[in-house]
């Protein structure tokens, strides 16, 4: 309580009386503390929900971008057989027929079709995998056989049976290749 000294006109403040009078009762402070805890819990839950929503939105945007970028993957795989058949057709034409006037238009038509298909592949991010002379990469090459090669380091691709392709940064089809192996040691046997 406050005591007033009437002779001096001053108020003496008794700190014990003031704290006891001004302090909220323990029962009154408890609901506020509980409410503050609940408020903090709800704030955290809202923050977590907002973060989760943002993560879901980002993931959906990424999936949408990937879906549009790789939507043609199935169609592109089907078109690879067309490219293979065009390449086989061109390889099967003997040189004497290429100069023949009757066959020249036919050969030119096949070559133009193959070039146009290659242009369409490039426009859509489909590129041929370089294989010959490269080290075997199991992520891009499928080794079908090993071949003795004295002029190539073991593990180097020396023959390509079927070209491989990538669509953007994904493997569309691995290149089927033959890989160099070290020549077998020869043992000379004297008779």
**Do residues 175 and 129 make contact, with C-beta atoms less than 8 angstroms apart?**
yes
Exposed e or buried b per residue across 153-184, where buried means at least 16 C-beta atoms within 10 angstroms of its C-beta = eeebbbebeebbbbbeeeebbbbbbbbbbeee
> What percent of the chain has pLDDT above 90?
48
pLDDT of residue 42: 94
Tell me: pLDDT of 8 over 90.
Answer: no
Measured distance CA(1)–CA(21) in Å, rounded? 8
Tens digits of per-residue pLDDT, 144-167? 999 888 888 889 999 999 999 999
The more confidently predicted of residues 94 and 25 is 94
Quickly state the pLDDT bin for 95 (edges 50, 70, 90). confident
| Nearest-angstrom CA–CA distance, 31 and 42 | 16
What is the pLDDT, as a whole number, of residue 1?
A: 45
> For residue range 53-84, what is the model confidence (pLDDT) as tens digits?
999 999 999 999 888 777 788 888 999 999 99
- Average the pLDDT over 86-108 and give the result: 86
Give pLDDT tens digits for 30-50: 778 888 999 999 999 999 999
Helix pair angle (73-92, 101-123), 10° resolution? 160
Average pLDDT, the chain: 83
> Could you give the CA distance from residue 69 to residue 105 in angstroms, rounded to a whole number?
37
Please say whether the beta carbons of 181 and 157 come within 8 A.
no
**What is the three-state SS of the chain?**
CEEEECCCCEEEECHHHHHHHHCCCHHHHHHHHHHHHHHHHHHHHHHHHHHHHHHHHHHHHHHHHHHHHCCCHHHHHHHHHHHHHHHHHHHHCCHHHHCCHHHHHHHHHHHHHHHHHHHHHHHCCEEECCCCCCECCCCCEEEEEEEECCCCCCCEEEEEEECCEEECCEEEECEEEEEEECCCCCCCCCC
User: Residue 124 CB: number of other CB atoms within 10 A?
Assistant: 15
pLDDT value, residue 126: 92
Question: For the whole prediction, is pTM greater than 0.85?
Answer: no
């Amino acid at each position: 309580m406050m005591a007033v000294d009437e002779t001096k006109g001053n108020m003496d403040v008794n700190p014990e009386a003031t704290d006891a009078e001004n302090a909220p009762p323990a029962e009154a402070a408890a609901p506020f503390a509980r409410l503050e805890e609940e408020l903090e819990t709800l704030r955290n839950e809202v923050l977590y929900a907002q973060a989760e929503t943002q993560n879901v939105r980002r993931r959906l945007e990424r999936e949408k971008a990937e879906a549009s970028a790789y939507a043609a993957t199935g169609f592109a795989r089907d078109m690879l057989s067309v490219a293979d058949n065009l390449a086989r057709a061109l390889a099967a034409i003997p040189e004497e027929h290429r100069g023949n006037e009757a066959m020249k238009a036919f050969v030119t038509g096949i070559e133009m079709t193959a070039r146009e298909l290659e242009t369409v592949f490039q426009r859509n991010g489909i590129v041929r995998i370089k294989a010959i002379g490269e080290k075997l990469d199991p992520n891009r090459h499928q080794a079908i056989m090993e071949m003795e090669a004295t002029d190539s380091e073991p593990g180097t691709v020396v023959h390509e049976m079927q070209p491989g392709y990538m669509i953007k940064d994904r493997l569309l089809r691995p290149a089927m290749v033959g890989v160099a192996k070290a020549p077998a040691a020869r043992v000379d046997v004297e008779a």
